[in-house]
Amino acid sequence: MSIKNIFNKIDQFDKKYQKINKQYNCFTNNISDFGRKHIDDADGLLKGKLIAIKDNINIKDYPTTCSSKILDNHISLYNATVINRLINEKGIIVAKSNMDEFAMGSSTEYSSHGVVSNPRDVKKVAGGSSGGSAAAVACKAVDIALGSDTGGSVRQPAAFCGVYGLKPTYGKISRYGLTAFASSLDQIGIFANNTDDIANTLLSIGGLDANDSNTIDESIILNYNEKDITNLKIGFSKKLINELPSEMSKKYFNVINFLKDKDVSVENVDIDLLDLAIPTYYIIATAEASSNLSRFDGIRYGKRISSNNIEEIFSNTRSQLLGDEVKRRIMLGTYVLSSGYYDDYYNKALKVRNIITKSLIKHFLKFDALLLPTTPTTAFSKNEKKDNPLEMYLSDIYTIPMSLSGIPSMSIPIGNVDKLPLGMQICSNYSQENTIFLISKFLEDNFLKG
């Protein structure tokens, strides 16, 4: 794409920015001037692609609010590693996207910037916590968006909005510059409208980073276009699919039967321990959140509620400037880490996490990939679950096990139910993203377009 065409593409984004944001509220800031600064003649994997960045990922000299009142006035001091790598591959960063406050939520209703509307039905939520990124891709305001996935916050909104959403292997993408929620679970993920854009973005931003000791020291090679899907052995869970509403389960079985008709080996397998995933996740995630968010106290970061007493500064700042869901999770996390409860809750949750991980990984001794539901429902209505945290938490029941184990997983669109998108999760073993891309690309080219 020529420089002139890239500038024209950014100009078109600027012209429709206000209208799109009025419709869907998917952005927190237009930063297209940042994108313009980095346009040149050099080629790159992402040249000409417009990209939105979830507002918990730092871009130097631009706001990073995490959709929280406490960070309304915060300007980032440095670029996240993924930002520098997007620039190196000539991606055009044009906006920050809306999110649940500090990435805590499953509907993007817990945002200081207001709720995000689903482009497929504005009465429905876009999912969360990366709902703004999903909606921005779904309405085609941008080509690609980055989000963060702690328990399903990329895959669930991808399913709700009818786009592709990847959570890579833990450590595949550097978290340096991502505002921490739960460090052992957080991962930067990718949204796009096709498999190739997801894969090229992973190749662009993934890999070892000296600033993040958890990154994996291995080369990322894309070779999914060179492989034959009939060489794969794929598992699915009839039990889990049958638990879904009938119209949803029919769509999943349509995919499975299609693959069988194309001579792909697909077999039923029992997937257990999902009932343990939700409590295990929320004990670990809230414990880590209470620790990570202790820095937001009105002294070191963001806004402050003034007082002559430092303890009142802490308590007033956090009570007045943090939202209800964030405070709820901090209190839960503080409780499970407190003296007398650490072993009963947090330490036990770590042991159960290990059991869940081993249970999932054993399936890859037999199968190259697993096909699972992404969500138990299609996108729900605004305010339907906002006042019922337990119901909200259950919307991540199928995504959390992959987060706890750190294996890669991607939600792909497989059709509609009552005019709302439905997503299916493709999961594989550690660092086997190419297997996911192979299946995704095959379904994209044959099932969805067939």
The residues that are catalytic are: 54, 129, 153
DSSP 381: B
Please, are residues 360 and 428 in contact by the beta-carbon 8 Å criterion?
no
How far apart are the C-alpha atoms of 153 and 412, rounded to whole Å?
14
**232 CB-near residues (< 8 Å, 6+ apart):** 264, 265, 368, 369, 435, 438, 439
Q: Please give the distance of CA 176 from its chain centroid, rounded to a whole number.
A: 16
Tokens 């299916």 identify what position?
Answer: 424
CA angle 28, 30, 35 (to 5 degrees): 130
Please, are residues 82 and 146 in contact by the beta-carbon 8 Å criterion?
yes
H runs (alpha helix) in 322-450: 324-337, 348-361, 389-393, 400-405, 433-442
**229 CB-near residues (< 8 Å, 6+ apart):** 259, 262, 264, 438, 439, 442
**Axis crossing angle, helix 324-337 with helix 274-292, rounded to the nearest 10:** 100
